[in-house]
Structure 1
């Protein structure tokens, strides 16, 4: 079958995520037949360079032989067993290894990033209820934060496009200033912005600490905010302030964990340990849905009791799925055996000259890089910039999905210099074609990751 056949069937039967389906009357879906490394291949044989790692999940390319082999082996042993009352080898080994890597123990599993956020928020809330602090029921998030789209996660998400419709259903959270380095005023650098934001956080904690259960942050990079990158001193200050005011720190490393920022986990660059660490996306290398929340022994102990009602009564049918855990173990093996973090540092240095023409483009603002994430903002009045850019890049065989006026690359780590050069050349052609063409649509496109 060809693209057109699958396109028609998908349009009739599938409700696609984060999408206005009417758009596909004029902007067709792309049916994908297979993946090969950094490439996605459609049913007509056209290849697309997956520069966003299929929504930030794919670490080592599509169809990685070692992850494939691990899953085939696991299929011959155990595909799934309920984790209530039972356990299995992959979930035990994965929990042990994540604990050793993070200094946190007792991993609790979910199915996706929003589930991880929900788990951490509920655990923090219940901890305070069970330790004599029933007034600590609120959460602090950063301005422009994104933590997921289930109701608890949406309550700490500050993206109007996602939360406005559901506002009556959401608990009221507190918003702290973002440390986004792009907010620098005259004479300020990224560190100064981070310290100024930390001062704003302290004022909020001083006024509300008795009501606050936790602060939740995306360490170093706020993804849906337009890849807002910030200085690690903010994390150091947030850790200090949370300790000072008796508030949990939740590190949402769903997008930035597993090497995206240059270290295995972003919090390492500030030398801190959060009270809760949320992981998902890259945890299985982009193969299977899995999320994990790791927390401290102190939090775990507050739930350890003879009374069932004091336990953490949260579950998913596929909690700790054996196949997903086995894929995650293969991912950790690849990191350890192939020295991925060092390789990524080498690639980032190798790619820097290739990206220099983008940095110098007259329409580019705030060119920035953190580990294996590159981003820049485009100075354009086009209301339809993101959609037009996405469409033009697809025609050139590149999957790049801007967030508003922010263009970013977050490719699989297996990308090579030749492929990065192709991506940069296509991006330059698209910028030249779109910027200055006119205003485009009068209705601005909302920023959608």
Structure 2
């Protein structure tokens, strides 16, 4: 906050397409989809109109003891497009609260079945699932989570397969993850309620992409040892990875799946936790049994948010968004090839239109920059000067553009990204040389 106050804060006034415009009239490409959630761009007429139309009916009515039309229609649509078997929808207002719901559902599921020993969870190293207490409990990024550890419930941590940081590459990273999971389940499956995972792409840890087949093997182990599988699709859902959901890439159906961010096209805060009928049935009982899932939000199933989400999903169909992501991802991958041999680019990780470029001091040894050098921050600041907004994850530069970005716009954005990386890393070299 000290540095933010001392700087010249960027204040956004409006948006047009894939650009944001500040109060000074300066235009910037939205190179990180306003924190990974914008799908169709800004100020989209169809999405604007959906909100206006619903506003003329009702802005909000509770789902406690009643329902509303957009929430029912959206639930039906989510079940239609979700991995087969996810048949029930529980609304919330953000990805973190959606994760809280999934964790609580998994815990209570076993208690409702009379199995009281299953109380712990498995998460993955460097996992991020939100900033509320339950979500932080299953988080494993020291910078974000360690200060709160005394407040949190315990969990088991296994490695997320990070090929770049593993001597054995993809095969070795995958084997370590699967072996660790199998060993843990062999020892403690009777105590474990669920495993939670960011499927295919781990976001906040630096856009780390799973080796092929890893998610499928994780699901198979969970099934074999009677442990629920929770997929956190908040960042990866709604076309971002080249399929509607990342689980679709390997034909996986989790027991619980959390969605948010892109659900409303980036317009309003709506999230949802999807469950299988098997999970639902554990809560379906007579009043006297007291198996109710006691959880609610004031704005759950908000009609305005659900209406714009429906309009967004309609645009997915009309504009063939998911298939276009695959084509656009191929274009971006080809464009970024220019960076692969750069002496300070250690790794370029990509799945669909989720891209992370890891900057290193030495490409050969993979020696990282020190955090105090803030190479990621400085590169993002240079990109801003060149006309594009993004935010780094440590030394990883994130590029997650709106899915609606045209090839010409992606060309401009990647050109800025490449130039910013070259400018900052080469400037760093000159400063070091001069200092010595």
Whole-angstrom CA distance in 1 between matches of 2:219 and 2:390: 34
Describe the shift of the 1:167–1:243 C-alpha distance in structure 2 as closer, same or farther (beyond 3 A): same
Is 1:131 matched up with 2:113?
A: yes
Whole-angstrom CA distance in 1 between matches of 2:428 and 2:332: 32
Give the match for residue 26 of structure 2: 46
Q: Which range moved further: 311-320 or 98-107?
A: 98-107
Describe the shift of the 1:161–1:99 C-alpha distance in structure 2 as closer, same or farther (beyond 3 A): same
- 1:54-203 matches, within 5 Å, as 54-102=34-82, 103=84, 104-186=86-168, 188=169, 190-203=170-183
Contact 1:290 1:324 in 2 (8 A): yes
Deviation at 1:421, TM superposition (A): 2.4
RMSD, aligned CA: 1.7
Deviation at 1:287, TM superposition (A): 0.3
Whole-angstrom CA distance in 1 between matches of 2:429 and 2:320: 47
Give the match for residue 264 of structure 1: 244
- 1:12-411 matches, within 5 Å, as 21-102=1-82, 103=84, 104-186=86-168, 188=169, 190-307=170-287, 309-380=290-361, 381=369, 383-411=373-401
Give the gaps of 5 or more residues in structure 1.
1-20, 442-449
Give the match for residue 444 of structure 1: none
Describe the shift of the 1:439–1:350 C-alpha distance in structure 2 as closer, same or farther (beyond 3 A): closer
Deviation at 1:300, TM superposition (A): 0.8
Report the 3-state secondary structure (helix = DSSP H, G, I; strand = E; otherwise coil) of the residue aligned with 2:147: coil
Is 1:429 matched up with 2:419?
A: yes
Contact 2:380 2:420 in 1 (8 A): no
Instruction: Tell me how many residue pairs correspond in the alignment.
Output: 419
Whole-angstrom CA distance in 2 between matches of 1:35 and 1:63: 6
Contact 1:140 1:156 in 2 (8 A): yes
Deviation at 1:251, TM superposition (A): 0.2
Deviation at 1:436, TM superposition (A): 4.7
Contact 1:109 1:116 in 2 (8 A): yes
Contact 1:255 1:281 in 2 (8 A): yes
Report the 3-state secondary structure (helix = DSSP H, G, I; strand = E; otherwise coil) of the residue aligned with 2:107: helix
The TM-score normalised by the length of structure 1 is 0.90
The TM-score normalised by the length of structure 2 is 0.93
Report the 3-state secondary structure (helix = DSSP H, G, I; strand = E; otherwise coil) of the residue aligned with 1:166: helix
Contact 2:231 2:257 in 1 (8 A): yes
Deviation at 1:271, TM superposition (A): 1.0
Whole-angstrom CA distance in 2 between matches of 1:224 and 1:345: 22
Deviation at 1:349, TM superposition (A): 2.5
Deviation at 1:357, TM superposition (A): 1.3
Deviation at 1:359, TM superposition (A): 2.4
Q: Which range moved further: 70-79 or 31-40?
A: 70-79
Report the 3-state secondary structure (helix = DSSP H, G, I; strand = E; otherwise coil) of the residue aligned with 2:340: helix
Is 1:420 matched up with 2:410?
A: yes
Give the match for residue 17 of structure 1: none
Deviation at 1:353, TM superposition (A): 3.2
Deviation at 1:390, TM superposition (A): 2.0
Whole-angstrom CA distance in 1 between matches of 2:194 and 2:100: 13
Give the match for residue 364 of structure 2: none
Contact 2:374 2:395 in 1 (8 A): no
Give the gaps of 5 or more residues in structure 2.
362-368, 432-436
C-alpha deviations, 1:7-37, integer Å up to 9, x for none? xxxxxxxxxxxxxx11123322211110111
Give the match for residue 434 of structure 2: none
Deviation at 1:184, TM superposition (A): 3.5
C-alpha deviations, 1:374-429, integer Å up to 9, x for none? 22211133521122122211111110211011112110012123322222222233
Contact 1:191 1:233 in 2 (8 A): no
Describe the shift of the 1:89–1:440 C-alpha distance in structure 2 as closer, same or farther (beyond 3 A): farther
